[in-house]
Chains A and B, each alone.
Chain A
Amino acid sequence: MNFALIRRAGIYLFLSVAAFLSVFPFYWMAIGATNKSIDITTGQMTPGNNLVANFQSLAAQVDLVRIFGNSFLIAIISTILTLAVSSIAGYSFEMFRSRVRERIFQLLLLLLSIPFAALMVPLFVMISRASLTNTFMAVILPTIASIFIIFYFRQATKAFPGELRDAARVDGLKEWQIFLFVYLPTMRSTYAAATIIVFMNAWNNYLWPLIVLQTPDNKTITLVISALTAAYAPDFGVILLATVLATLPTLVIFFVLQRQFVQGMLGAVK
C-alpha cells in the first residue's frame, strides 16, 4: 500500500471530522429552530414544521425590533469607535519614534493579561459614578480602547510602506490627512478583518451588558436568549430560533468581508 495514499486518507479523515465538529452545532441549531421543544429533546435531526409557531412564540415574549435595534446600535457604535481609536493608536505606535514608545506598548500588552473578572467591579464603580448605568454608553465605552486591536493595527502598520507616507508629505498632506486619505484606504483589508473581530465581540458581549443594562427595554439579544433559557420550562425551539437570528448578522458581515478578512489576516498591503 502506498504510504502517500494512507497519509492523504488520514488527512482527509481528520479534516472531515474537524469540519463535522465545526458545522454540526450550526446544523443542529438551524434544525432545532424548526422543531418543537419535545422533538429537540428526543433528538430529532431532521427539519420540522414548527418554525412559524416558534417565531410567533418568540415574538410574543420578546420585542424583537427593539432588542435587535439595541444590539445593532451598540455593536455598530462600538465597532466604529473601537476601529477609530485603536487604529489611530496602532498607527501612531508604529509611525512615531519616541524613547518611551516601547515601554508604553509593553505596559499595554501587560494589561492584556488582566482577566475581565478582575476589572468588572472597578469598572462598574466608574460607570456608576459617571451615572452611566443602564445606558448604551456604559456597554460601549469600556470596549473602545481595545489593546488587542491596537496591537493588531500596529503589526499591520509595519507593512505600510514608509515611502507612501513620505510621498504624501511631499504632496502637502498633514499627518491626519495622511491617515485619512492614504493609510485608511490602503489598509482596507486590515480594517475589514478588525471590523469582523470587533463587531462579533460587541454583538456577542454578554457579561458586561448583563451587569450594566438593567431594564428590559435596554437588553441586547444575548441577554434575551439567556433569559429565555432561565424559564421554568424552557422552549428549546424558541431558544434555538432566537440563536439563529442572533447569529445571522455576524454571518452576513463575515461573508461580505470574507475576502478582505483573509487578506487582512495575512497582513497584505497591495
Chain B
Amino acid sequence: MSSLKLKGVRKAFGTLEVIKGVDLDINAREFVVFVGPSGCGKSTLLRMIAGLESITSGDIEIGGKRVNDADPSKRGIAMVFQSYALYPHMTVRDNMGFALRFAGKPKDEIARQVGEAARILELEPLLDRLPRELSGGQRQRVAIGRAIVRHPEVFLFDEPLSNLDAELRVHMRIELARLHRELKTTMIYVTHDQVEAMTLADKIVVLRGGEVAQVGSPLQLYDDPDNHFVAGFIGSPRMNFLEAEVLDAGNGSFTAQLVNHPGVRLTKTLTGKLPAKGDRITIGVRPEHFGEPGQGIADLSLTVDVAEHLGSTTFIYANTATPEQLIVEREERHAGESDTLVVSIPAETSLVFDSAGKRLR
C-alpha cells in the first residue's frame, strides 16, 4: 500500500524519445489507469515502473524510496501481463508459489499464501493443473494470483483483459474492482479500452505521444476535458466536433459561425480567455447533450444515416450537408434512415477548443 511518484521521467531509444517527461503522483490504495491510443507509451511507462525498462532520466519513487536502479523484484511490485506469462511447465500451485520459492520462503509459508490467494480467486480446484489445461479467464486469474501471493506494494496490470472475449472481460473487470476493494492496494492498470478505464479507475492518466494529456477522475475527464484529444478519447460513442470561425468576441462571450453549416451562428459565454476574431475554434458536443430544437445556442438540421437501437437508448449517425457525420443519442426508437432530425447545440455542456486543441473555459 504505497504511494508512487514519477518525477520528470523520460525514456529514449537512441534519438527517439518515447516518454517525454512524465510527472505523476499516485496515492496509496488508488486505482490508476493509464489510457491512450497504441504507441502512446503507456506500456513502456508501466514497464519502467516495474524496472523491466531502464529510464533515461528522471526519478521513480515507490513508498518514498527512489527505485531507479532497483531490481524489479526489489521494488515491491507485482505485474500481470497481457499474455498471462504463466510458466507453461509448472502447475497453477507452482506458478503461484514460484516467486516465494526464489525469495527463500519456507514451504509451509508458501503453501499458506498460495492457498489464501487461491481462495480469494476461487482457484482451489485448479491448483494441480497445468496452464494449458485452463481457459483464458482461469489463466488470467492464476496470473493475478501469482501477483497477489507476493503481497506487493503496487500491482501493475499491462492490458490484462485484452485477450479475453467480451463477456469474460466484463466479468473479470468486476472481479478486479472487487479485488481492489478487498486488497486495498495501489494498482496501476494499462489499457487502450476507455470503458475499462472509466469503470475501474479512481484516477485516469491519459497519455498521448509519450506525454500526459490529462490526469483526473473518470467523470472529471468526461465532463471537463482539458483538451481536444482527451475530449475525443474519453467517451463512447465519441464526442462530436464542429469546426467554427469566430466572428466577434468581447464582454465574456464570442459569436462564431460553423464552418460546415453555413448560416448557423452561435454565441457562447466563457469565463476565461476568449478567442480572437477570425480564430478557428472547435465546438465539442457529446451525443447525449444535443437538445431539442430551439433550446440551445444554435440548431442543426441533420439527415439520419444509420440508427442503432440498443433498447435503452438509440445512437443516430447523422449526416450534414458536408461529409461531416455527427452522433446523436436519443431515447426515442422511431428514427429511421433518411429522416430529418433537428437538434440544438447546448449552451452549458458544449465545450470550446482553440486551434491548438486547448480547452477554452
Contact = CB atoms under 8 A, between A and B. Distances in A.
Contacts of A7: none
Nearest to B87: A182
Main secondary structure of the interface of A (DSSP, over half): helix
Nearest to A188: B89
A191 to B, nearest CB: 12
B89 A185 contact: yes
Given A177-B102, A270-B132, A169 B85 contact: no
A173 B81 contact: no
Contact of A161 (B72, B83, B99): B83
B88 interface: yes
Interface string A249-270: 0000000000000000000011
Contact of B79 (A161, A166, A186): A166
Interface residues of B, number: 26
B144 to A, nearest CB: 13
Contacts of B12: none
B88 A172 contact: no
Contacts of A161: 83, 85
Given A163-B81, A186-B89, A170 B102 contact: no
Given A170-B72, A170-B79, A270-B132, A186 B87 contact: yes
Given A172-B73, A270-B132, A167 B102 contact: no
Interface string B166-180: 000000000000000
Interface residues of A, number: 18
Given A163-B83, A164-B87, A166-B52, A172 B77 contact: no
B135 to A, nearest CB: 15
A152 B99 CA distance: 31
A169 B52 contact: yes
B62 interface: no
B85 A166 contact: yes
A162 to B, nearest CB: 9
B81 A166 contact: yes
Interface of B: 47, 50-52, 71-74, 77-79, 81-83, 85-89, 98-99, 102-103, 132, 146, 150
14 contacts: A161-B85, A163-B81, A166-B50, A166-B79, A167-B85, A167-B86, A167-B146, A169-B72, A170-B51, A170-B99, A172-B102, A177-B102, A186-B89, A270-B132
